[in-house]
Structure 1
Amino acid sequence: MAVQIHLRLRAADDDMERLERSTGQLRGELLELDVQDVTPVSAGQAPPGTRAVDVAQVGSLLVTIAQAPQTLRQVVQTIRGWLTRDPGAHSVEITLGGDRLVVSGAGAQTEQRLVEAWLKAHGLETAQQPGPQQAGSGQAG
């Protein structure tokens, strides 16, 4: 059974072009993993009179994976690593089945504990590969 993970990127500023570029860069990195698909999230139909058929929500991605906890870990680790390399990124909200985790790239130890607890709640024990040490704090919710 496939699992869908919703990602919502938040930029350090309100630069929508930078957010769109960042979203595309993260999407590219995620597509290199063993995922089924990574697609922009639709905001619905475009306003009447415009050429666009569908409008994408800038900064939102839907990641589809096989129900494999290790793939979920790889997705989260990729996001955390990407946050350390993208100066325009502020945080990424990861939602799976109504369970939310926010990673932001500040305060590595606190964020690592939150990530491990979140992954464990989704069937992945904490004894497996630790995440990046340079990433930072987040919130589980």
Structure 2
Amino acid sequence: MQVLLSIAFDPELDSEPAERLVRQLRAEISELDVESVGPTLAGTAPDGAKGTDAVALGAVVVALSASGGVFTSLIETLREWLSRHSARHRISLTIDGDTIELDRASAAERRELIDAYVRRHTGE
């Protein structure tokens, strides 16, 4: 399974701190039992991306292994990362054309949306 992560940073954030945040997130994701994590390939830019820099900076592809809890672990990692760095950042996850956006929703609203999304893609 491949998951496309699109990070929309706070518009007031400069590119250097944004790059650092992407590197931190990729490092956290790589610690999970994922097959790979890396930037998107040319031509796979998320809808609404503005220019090459935005695509290169805030789009990450994660290939998940077949083991059961990896997807749930990825979601939890993203949730924690947003909690620490949220400001006005958003993360969109896309699997097979199904997209969910994580942003400034309340913790309860976010949990409910994420739980429903996880159930759709894990059969739980």
TM-score band by shorter chain is 0.7 to 0.9
Q: Answer 1 or 2: which has greater helix percent.
A: 2
Determine whether 1:100 maps to 2:85: no
TM-score by length of 2: 0.81
- The one-letter amino acid of 2:22's match is T
Equivalent in the alignment of 1:29: 28
Deviations 1:94-139 (A, max 9, x none): 11111101111530111111101101111242xxxxxxxxxxxxxx
Q: Answer 1 or 2: which has greater strand percent.
A: 1
CA shift, 1:68, in A, is 3.6
The answer to whether the Cα contact below 8 Å between 1:92 and 1:102 also exists between their aligned partners in 2 is yes
- Percent of pairs with identical residues: 31
- The one-letter amino acid of 2:7's match is L
CA shift, 1:89, in A, is 5.8
Q: Secondary structure at the match of 1:121?
A: helix
TM-score by length of 1: 0.72
Deviations 1:19-53 (A, max 9, x none): 21111110000001011110111336xxxxxxxxx
What is the 5 A alignment of 1:4-19? 4-14=2-12, 15-19=14-18
The answer to whether the Cα contact below 8 Å between 1:26 and 1:82 also exists between their aligned partners in 2 is yes
Equivalent in the alignment of 1:63: 62
Equivalent in the alignment of 2:49: none
Specify whether residues 87 and 115 from structure 1 end up closer, same or farther in structure 2 by C-alpha distance, changes over 3 A only: closer
Higher relative contact order (CA 8 A, sep 6+): 2
